[in-house]
């Protein structure tokens, strides 16, 4: 197979898009509301954190089975 030299792109290879996507203001709020499956239960998330902090130890489990 012939040697292939990769051309490194230069800044001018990436002109500004003619029609950039701009998302701002109310659109962002609408996005966040529409994307959520439902109201996020913040209390549940905090309880998840508490369970994790109580149970997890950042060491391999392997030695626990000796």
Residues that bind another protein (CB under 8 A): 21, 23, 27-28, 30-38, 40-42, 44-45, 47-49, 51-53, 55-62, 64-66
Least distance between another protein and beta carbon 18 (Å): 14
Q: Is 15 helix (H, G, I), strand (E, B) or coil?
A: coil
* Residue from 9, 31, 13, 14 nearest 22 by CA: 31
Least distance between another protein and beta carbon 60 (Å): 4
Tokens of 3: 């040697």
End-to-end CA distance of the chain: 52
Least distance between another protein and beta carbon 5 (Å): 31
């Amino acid at each position: 197979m012939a040697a292939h030299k990769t051309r490194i792109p230069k800044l001018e290879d990436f002109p500004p898009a003619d029609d950039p996507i701009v998302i701002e203001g109310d659109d962002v709020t609408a996005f966040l509301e529409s994307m959520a499956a439902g109201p996020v239960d913040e209390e549940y998330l905090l309880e998840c954190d508490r369970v994790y902090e109580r149970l997890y130890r950042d060491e391999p489990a392997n030695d626990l089975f000796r």
